[in-house]
Structure 1
């Protein structure tokens, strides 16, 4: 992969709106760790790549009846640069996909607070129903008397899949601290490995060829490595602008070309 200047590319499939969340926690020895999943080799998109929990927007993520606490969709629309219904959908997808892929739920009772634990057969049954699309996220929260906690999310960046790719995503990256009392768990499905890692160590492993990541994940890990704690990362003021790498032939190989100004590490 290279950092050459992006001069555009061929038109491809329309990019699907999606969301991903960097779950952060304090390290015992100080600093922060981020949660990574390795996508199974059988996956059509990015097989074998380490990613953050996330996925595409479901049409039911746009439902206006979702129970909500924190900054309203209109405020998120201004932050993300989209219309209010899409802002609602992106935040909903971020929270839903995080629960589906890690078991962590950024929600709580209307009076305040966050769910203390999501382990147990009843939670697993609901998580499976969400994955299978047998249950909408709006119904899930309503049945449990919970509200989505949008105040636990921080908008981080926006990456768009290169135009030459057959499967393309327009992804908003969010950051969130692991809620007290909750635990990530390996729920299988799309991932065959999960790990908490220091962001700098993840980048170093990628540079040694020991851990595969796509440019958005590598860049985000490099950015997170600049912060000494989850609180510091979540307090960072971020300018959200679209970043769209290109696919170019470099030295006889087809590689990602990241736009100028993006802090993409060298390999």
Structure 2
């Protein structure tokens, strides 16, 4: 299913787009960095809500955009000693259509990034429990250690006798940044619920807003130009808006195909065109 998305009127972005359209050269595009993002959802009074961040204006990639917590894979996310519970890396490899090492990296990155960015840790002392008391000074220090790359996720979990709970994640989508962008990401979108006793917060310096949003309200703000979102986020928020419950949304297994938007000059303007799975 083809879909066109409007292009931001940012002067710097328009300059990149104009330069690319004047002399497109896919061979010069940087390789995309592996990344993972997590859509935390919950049931609200008006339907399913999703936790989102607004990136600060100084960010090199997607400034001022509304996004889900997440980020790039760290080389140590693939450490073989990472304690693991739930579907195995081999099972995730089949679902994500990657090799086992890369599947381990992507799932670990998803868990690490949401702990770093919003203080939620999808891990526990056993395969059917989740760690609690994350508001303590001790856990704030563990979060800092990860952020400063003083420790890997594997090291933090081993030190505390915890296992990563891969069963708490669902798999939703796979998007790759267009080739004209200077920074590119190959991103898997996961879903999850915030475990009981945890609270998603605004502890990251990369965002100036962190909050639960009502999808319909955010989509209206986006259409009116009051909120900024990239095409993958727009599609994801639309899917949350259509969900009947948070639990069902996480349990869904939609068709996932790689989506990489491309610039298209329609004659009446430039758009980002994407082929979406039905």
* Offset from partner CA, 1:24-81 (integer Å, 9 cap, x none): 1121x25211000000111100000010000000000011110000000000000000
* Offset from partner CA, 1:148-201 (integer Å, 9 cap, x none): 000000010000000111100000000001111110111131111111012222
- For 1:55-66, what aligned pairs fall within 5 Å after superposition? 55-66=71-82
Distance in 2, Cα, partners of 1:218 & 1:10: 27
Contact kept in structure 1, 2:255 and 2:277, CA below 8 Å: no
- For 1:58-77, what aligned pairs fall within 5 Å after superposition? 58-77=74-93
Distance in 2, Cα, partners of 1:42 & 1:215: 21
Q: Does 1:3 align with 2:20?
A: no
In the other structure, the counterpart of 2:35 is 18
Contact kept in structure 1, 2:43 and 2:49, CA below 8 Å: yes
Determine helix, strand or coil for the equivalent of 2:256.
coil
- Aligned counterpart for 1:231 among listed residues 233, 247, 254: 247
Distance in 2, Cα, partners of 1:254 & 1:189: 33
Worse-matched range after superposition: 205-214 or 55-64? 205-214
TM-score, L = length of structure 1: 0.91
In structure 2, the gaps of 5 or more residues are 6-23
- For 1:44-193, what aligned pairs fall within 5 Å after superposition? 44-110=60-126, 112-193=128-209
* Offset from partner CA, 1:104-146 (integer Å, 9 cap, x none): 1111112521123311211111111101111111001111111
Distance in 2, Cα, partners of 1:128 & 1:17: 22
Q: 1:111 to 1:159 in 2, by over 3 A?
A: closer
Determine helix, strand or coil for the equivalent of 2:250.
helix
Q: Does 1:39 align with 2:40?
A: no
Distance in 2, Cα, partners of 1:249 & 1:13: 22
Aligned CA RMSD, in angstroms, stands at 1.7
Q: 1:47 to 1:156 in 2, by over 3 A?
A: same
TM-score, L = length of structure 2: 0.88
Distance in 2, Cα, partners of 1:118 & 1:79: 31
Distance in 2, Cα, partners of 1:35 & 1:167: 24
In structure 1, the gaps of 5 or more residues are none
Determine helix, strand or coil for the equivalent of 1:127.
helix
Determine helix, strand or coil for the equivalent of 2:4.
coil
More helix by share: 2
Q: CA deviation at 1:247?
A: 2.4
